[in-house]
């Protein structure tokens, strides 16, 4: 490491995000990059600790600890500190195909397991990654690099989310002819329509990478749904291998009275509609999917729920609350959540920060279970019925128990269900005869990415269930490697 006392001298510092009251007036990204001098200072805080859990990518207590991509974080932090920018970028890209995505939307599991973070604020790994890759783009260092050889093998990748794109990128690097099928009208999967523009800019960031991948020789076909418009059997016969990266987009629903009322929507339906409204000049946002001048209730406390809050605020909602059935997390790690596990502590994300700035309070309400919806004479939702819960141990597991006398109603003109996903959609899987596991995901043998049908592989959320973008990229890379071995008998693609 360049500065052995860096972590003692320098404090953790992040670039100041755009002011909440300013940024809620537009759909532009709210993060700001480090300047080069600050970037070097933050890189100097990396300890070269000898036990770099930051890039371990293991599962501890059911959660990711360290970077699932095994990013060589101490190495590129040292190069950043030394001002060796191009070398640092090369080291970053060695394990991560799309740091411009992860640097924006990853929750930074690497920072949760940073050794320095066990005694002081962690190294600012995520903001260094984000700033470094954007500097590389600004300098013109990120250019198309078409493969120099061709194997003559044809591979179809179904789905253009992070898993599909990473898989296609790796297989293209290996010299295979890759065609990516995407059912939406634009590429990117959830990168395009599941994450709001202020968090991940579609035209500047997502489309920028698509242009590079296309220039490197990958063929993209949009508006075609494999399994519906294009039989999987036909695809399998026309290509030497197929990799399914279709995600896990079957949303979790809620079975309570009043669920039939209009004005109750799944979160992705709301977010996708809003993104189309931003990108398409003549797109007409459906009134029922608009939060403008409405009381909005978001059910679900995860990242998608936060995105719904931020989107509702920008659409000029009248109010917004977020109902979470889990208890409020503690401010500090508890004894049963030691480093290097992911810290299960209270965090204020960008959406909550904006709600606090606009309405004066955190929108989250904890330990609340939704018991029903109230409708008006037109059959439209007008309220949400809830009850407080307490968590008790039953048969060794925590379960929510209703607390009589704590019933409450909240006004709601728009309800957004952001409770996660149950698994991949059914049509393609049922048509193909591909086996599922007990959780309804596509089944593969342990350590493998091939389905029960030889030559058909799967990766990402479709295989492991709903997860992070960084896990999807790792899965796509790993599936590409296994696919390359299937096609060629060996591979030079990295693990």
Q: Over the stretch 213-243, which tens digit does the pLDDT of each residue have?
A: 999 999 999 999 999 999 999 999 999 999 9
Listed by start position, the domains of the chain span 6-138, 154-249+422-488, 253-419
Res 414: pLDDT: 98
Q: Over the stretch 115-141, which tens digit does the pLDDT of each residue have?
A: 999 999 999 999 999 999 999 999 999
pLDDT at 423 over 70: yes
Res 281: pLDDT: 86
Q: Which of 480, 461, 440 is nearest to 194 (CA)?
A: 461
Res 145: pLDDT: 97
The whole-number average pLDDT for the span 318-333 is 97
- The CA distance from 201 to 454, in Å, is 38
Superfamily of domain 253-419: FAD/NAD(P)-binding domain (3.50.50.60)
User: CB-based contacts of 375: which residues, under 8 Å, 6+ apart?
Assistant: 258, 261, 381, 382
Collapsed DSSP state (helix, strand, coil) of residue 336: coil
Average pLDDT, the chain: 96
pLDDT at 182 over 70: yes
CA 327, 333, 336, 340 dihedral sign is positive
- The CA distance from 77 to 124, in Å, is 10
Res 53: pLDDT: 94
49 — pLDDT class (breaks 50, 70, 90):
confident
Res 258: pLDDT: 98
pLDDT at 1 over 70: no
What is the DSSP secondary structure assignment for residue 299, as one 8-state letter?
Answer: E
47 — pLDDT class (breaks 50, 70, 90):
confident
Res 14: pLDDT: 96
- The CA distance from 289 to 295, in Å, is 13
pLDDT at 50 over 90: no
Are 92 and 133 within 8 A, CB to CB? yes
- Torsion angle of C-alpha atoms 208, 213, 218, 220, degrees rounded to 10: -20
The whole-number average pLDDT for the span 381-395 is 96
Superfamily of domain 154-249+422-488: FAD/NAD(P)-binding domain (3.50.50.60)
pLDDT at 2 over 80: no
Q: For a pLDDT cut of 70, what percent of the chain falls above it?
A: 100
Res 180: pLDDT: 98
Q: pTM for the full model? A: 0.96
The whole-number average pLDDT for the span 239-261 is 97
Angle, nearest 10°, between helix axes 469-488 and 162-173? Answer: 40
Angle, nearest 10°, between helix axes 85-93 and 73-81? Answer: 170
pLDDT at 323 over 90: yes
CATH number of 6-138: 1.10.1060.10
- The CA distance from 66 to 73, in Å, is 10
Res 282: pLDDT: 86
User: Are 6-138 and 154-249+422-488 equal in CATH topology?
Assistant: no
The whole-number average pLDDT for the span 387-411 is 96
């Amino acid at each position: 490491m360049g500065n052995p006392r860096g972590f003692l001298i320098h404090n953790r510092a992040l670039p100041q995000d755009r002011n909440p009251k300013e940024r809620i007036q537009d759909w532009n990204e709210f993060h700001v990059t480090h300047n080069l001098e600050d970037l070097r200072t933050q890189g100097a805080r990396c300890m070269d600790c000898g036990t770099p859990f930051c890039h371990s990518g293991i599962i501890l207590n059911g959660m990711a600890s360290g970077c699932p991509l095994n990013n060589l974080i101490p190495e590129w932090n040292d190069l950043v500190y030394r001002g060796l920018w191009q070398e640092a970028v090369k080291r970053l890209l060695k394990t991560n195909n799309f740091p411009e995505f992860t640097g924006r939307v990853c929750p930074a599991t690497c920072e949760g397991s940073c050794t320095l973070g066990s005694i002081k604020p962690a190294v600012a790994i995520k903001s260094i990654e984000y700033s470094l890759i954007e500097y590389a783009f600004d300098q013109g260092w990120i250019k198309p690099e078409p493969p120099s050889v061709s194997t003559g093998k044809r591979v179809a990748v179904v789905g253009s989310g992070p898993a599909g794109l990473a898989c296609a990128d790796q297989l293209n690097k290996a010299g295979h002819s890759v065609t990516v099928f995407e059912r939406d009208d634009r590429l990117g999967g959830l990168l395009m329509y599941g994450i709001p523009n202020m968090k991940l800019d579609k035209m500047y960031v997502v489309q920028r990478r698509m242009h590079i991948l296309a220039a490197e020789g990958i063929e993209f076909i949009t508006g075609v749904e494999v399994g519906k418009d294009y039989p999987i059997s036909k695809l399998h016969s026309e290509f030497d291998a197929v990799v399914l990266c279709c995600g896990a987009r079957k949303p979790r629903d809620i079975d309570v009275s009043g669920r039939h009322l209009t004005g109750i929507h799944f979160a992705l339906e709301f977010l996708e509609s809003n993104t189309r409204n931003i990108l398409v000049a003549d797109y007409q946002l459906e009134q029922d999917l608009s939060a403008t001048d409405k009381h909005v209730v978001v059910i679900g406390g995860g990242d998608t729920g936060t995105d719904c809050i931020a989107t509702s605020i920008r659409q000029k909602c009248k109010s917004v609350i977020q109902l979470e059935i889990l208890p409020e997390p503690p401010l500090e790690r508890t004894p049963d959540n030691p480093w290097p596990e992911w810290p299960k502590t209270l965090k204020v994300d960008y959406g909550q920060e904006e709600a606090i700035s606009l309405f004066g309070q955190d929108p989250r309400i904890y330990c609340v279970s939704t018991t029903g919806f109230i409708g008006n004479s037109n059959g439209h939702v007008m309220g949400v019925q809830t009850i407080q819960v307490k968590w008790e141990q039953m048969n060794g597991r925590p379960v929510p128990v209703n607390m009589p006398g704590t019933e409450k109603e909240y006004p709601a003109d728009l309800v957004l269900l952001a409770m996660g996903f149950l698994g991949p959609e059914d049509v393609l899987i049922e048509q193909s005869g591909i086996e599922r596991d007990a959780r309804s995901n596509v089944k593969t043998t342990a350590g493998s990415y091939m389905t029960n049908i030889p030559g058909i592989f799967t990766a990402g959320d479709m295989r492991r269930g709903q997860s992070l973008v960084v896990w999807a990229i790792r899965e796509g890379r790993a599936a590409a490697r296994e696919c390359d071995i299937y096609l060629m008998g060996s591979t030079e693609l990295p693990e």
